């Protein structure tokens, strides 16, 4: 069928990509020396980490818009006590003018063996708390969505750096060559859009593959041939392979020509494999019921199917725009979104655990910043970059713990502060990468996800 197929699976993995700058590391070397980079090497082939990784995959559940810490994972009895008082009277302030202190409309409940308090709007996630590490002392630079989202995804407040998923696939490759290594699931687009999963100056193969529609027939562009039957397409491809074989032989062989021949073959297989991977309807009814209904639930389930098949990073945006941005009615807004996602998130954790995947999959939940403990309008909350919560689960992180704290009202991180750069450093560490060594030489200098910042939060490592 295929002419000149004398390649092992390993060769195939290594040769299905090709080219000069394609290999980030080689591009780096090429700028330092005149040694020729090896053509035909696959930039997405799995690579050896800097040290033994705890996690192999990342699932980032991005609650874009910015969930409120004091209504979710950071209970504040003092806030309740001081409800209605002006922030200024307590020596506190917010970036923009806001109303008085506003207690959470939700009750907090002690959950799990660890007894960590979680808001009543997350009963299911609360029941998984013993697998979760809540970081309550997050802080970021700017209380606006665009720079906030960019800093969380790319480590810079401007759209000038590669995203974390791009760095991860650059550093580690991916385990399944028939699927993209970095998948972004979002119906529509979050605010900012594609810059959030940009490869920037890294080679284009490391860009996130944005999938809006989870219909398996539409997941990846051009995944389906709508003109000929599978049998006919196979015949077409056989002819193409034979003609390409004759072409190559006449030229005395060439790695780049080989690479394309192999790549065509993989594309052919990808058509069926990718459609299968994204097809959540293949899951048992019981499993689908556990996740619940809707895009986010399906995306969570798809995320599990993808990491199961070796995808390096899956980023699930809760929705298009900035859905968690409840300036208006925090109670109604947060309750609805929690109701819509609580079951799916918990199901994802349980499902990963049941399949033995949680150990090697790091799950990150959180937004781009937090919200003010004071009110905006009658019952909303404004943006707050000084303090917020995210949580991690699986992938080498201690479960059933909280780390750091905000002040007594939840205005700002006060103890064991964790900046986004620190979070990034920690995630890379769990993936077996030293954030100071994962570099890319570009424009004359070595760039990092964490720029010149970042400290691994060692206390939360299992």
Residue whose CB is less far from another protein, 19 or 66: 19
What's the closest the beta carbon of residue 255 comes to another protein, in angstroms?
10
Is residue 49 within the footprint of another protein (CB under 8 A)?
A: no
CA 169 to chain centre: 12
Interface residue with another protein, options 14, 94, 104, 207 (CB under 8 A)? 207
Return the residue of 48, 89, 107, 228 that touches another protein, per CB under 8 A.
228
State the Cα–Cα distance between residues 224 and 264, nearest whole angstrom. Answer: 14
DSSP string of 310-375, one letter each residue:
T-SEEEEESSSB-TT--SSBHHHHHHHHHHHHHHHHHHHHHHHHHTT-GGGEEEEEE-SSEE-SB-
Is there binding between residue 242 and another protein (CB under 8 A)? yes
The residue range among 21-29, 104-112, 332-340, 341-349 that interacts with another protein, by the rule CB under 8 A, is: 21-29
Instruction: Tell whether residue 36 is a contact of another protein (CB under 8 A).
Output: yes
Measured CA to CA in angstroms, residue 219 lies from 45, 184, 195, 196 at distances of 22, 11, 20, 19
Decide: helix, strand or coil at residue 308.
Answer: helix
CB 187 within 8 A of CB 195: no
Question: Residues 118 to 157: which contact another protein by CB under 8 A?
Answer: 137, 141-144, 146-147, 157
Check binding of 205 to another protein (CB under 8 A). yes
50 interacts with another protein by CB under 8 A = no
Per-residue binder mask for another protein (CB under 8 A), 397-416, x = binder: ----------------xxxx
Residues 256-315 that bind another protein (CB under 8 A): 256-257, 259-261, 263-264, 266-268, 270-271
**Cβ 294 to another protein shortest distance, Å:** 26
Rank residues 273 and 360 by Cβ distance to another protein and give the closer one: 273
Helix, strand, coil distribution of the chain in percent, nearest 5: 40, 15, 45
The answer to whether 2 contacts another protein (rule: CB under 8 A) is no
CB closer to another protein out of 35 and 285: 35
What is the distance between the alpha carbons of residues 70 and 76, in angstroms, rounded to a whole number? Answer: 6
Residue 434 binds to another protein (criterion: CB under 8 A): no
DSSP H or E segment with residue 139:
strand 132-139
Nearest distance from C-beta of residue 429 to another protein, angstroms = 17
Count CB atoms within 10 A of the CB of residue 95: 14
CB environment 315-352: b (16+ within 10 A), e (fewer): bbbbbbbbbbbbeebbeebbbebbebbbbbbbbbbbbb
- Rounded to a whole number of angstroms, the minimum distance from the CB of residue 273 to another protein is 10
Number of residues lying near another protein (CB under 8 A): 94
Token pair recorded at residue 258: 């080989």
Task: For another protein, give the closer residue by CB, 215 or 289.
Answer: 215
């Amino acid at each position: 069928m295929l002419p000149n197929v004398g390649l092992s699976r390993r060769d195939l993995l290594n040769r299905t990509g090709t080219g000069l700058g394609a290999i980030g590391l080689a591009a780096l070397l090429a700028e330092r020396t005149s040694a020729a980079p090896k053509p035909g090497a696959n930039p997405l082939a799995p690579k050896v980490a800097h040290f033994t990784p705890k996690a192999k995959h990342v699932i980032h559940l991005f609650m874009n818009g910015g969930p409120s810490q004091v209504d979710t994972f950071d209970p504040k009895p003092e806030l309740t006590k001081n409800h209605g008082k002006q922030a200024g009277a307590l020596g506190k302030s917010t970036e923009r003018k806001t109303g008085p202190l506003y207690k959470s409309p939700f009750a907090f409940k002690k959950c799990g063996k660890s007894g960590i308090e979680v808001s009543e709007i997350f009963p299911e996630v609360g029941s998984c708390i013993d697998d979760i590490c809540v970081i309550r002392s997050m802080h970021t630079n700017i209380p606006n969505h665009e720079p906030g989202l960019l800093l969380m995804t790319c480590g810079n407040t401007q759209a000038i750096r590669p995203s974390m998923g791009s760095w991860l696939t650059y550093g580690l490759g991916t385990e399944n060559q028939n699927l993209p290594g970095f998948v972004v699931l979002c119906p529509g687009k979050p605010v900012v859009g594609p810059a959030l999963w940009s490869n920037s100056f890294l080679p284009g193969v490391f860009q996130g593959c944005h999938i809006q529609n989870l219909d398996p027939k539409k997941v990846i562009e051009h995944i389906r041939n709508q003109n000929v039957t599978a049998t006919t397409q196979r015949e077409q491809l056989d002819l193409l392979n034979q003609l390409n074989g004759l072409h190559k032989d006449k030229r005395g062989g060439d790695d780049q020509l080989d690479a394309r021949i192999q790549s065509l073959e993989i594309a052919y297989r990808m058509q069926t494999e990718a459609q299968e991977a994204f097809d959540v309807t293949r899951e048992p009814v019981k499993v689908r019921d556990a996740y619940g209904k809707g895009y986010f639930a399906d995306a969570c389930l798809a995320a599990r199917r993808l990491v199961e098949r070796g995808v390096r990073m899956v980023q699930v945006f809760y929705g298009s725009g900035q859905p968690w941005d409840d300036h208006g009615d925090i109670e109604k807004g947060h309750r609805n979104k929690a109701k819509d996602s609580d079951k799916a998130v918990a199901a994802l954790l349980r499902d990963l655990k049941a399949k033995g995947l949680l150990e090697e999959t790091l799950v990150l939940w959180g937004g781009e910043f937090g919200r003010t403990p004071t009110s905006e309008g009658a019952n909303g909350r404004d943006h707050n970059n000084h303090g917020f919560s995210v949580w991690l689960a699986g992938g080498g992180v201690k479960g059933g713990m909280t780390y750091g704290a905000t002040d007594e009202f939840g205005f700002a991180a006060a103890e064991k502060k964790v900046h986004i750069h620190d979070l990034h450093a920690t995630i890379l560490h769990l993936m077996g990468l030293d954030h100071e060594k994962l570099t890319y030489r570009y424009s004359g200098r070595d760039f990092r996800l964490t720029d010149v910042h970042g400290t691994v939060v060692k206390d939360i490592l299992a």
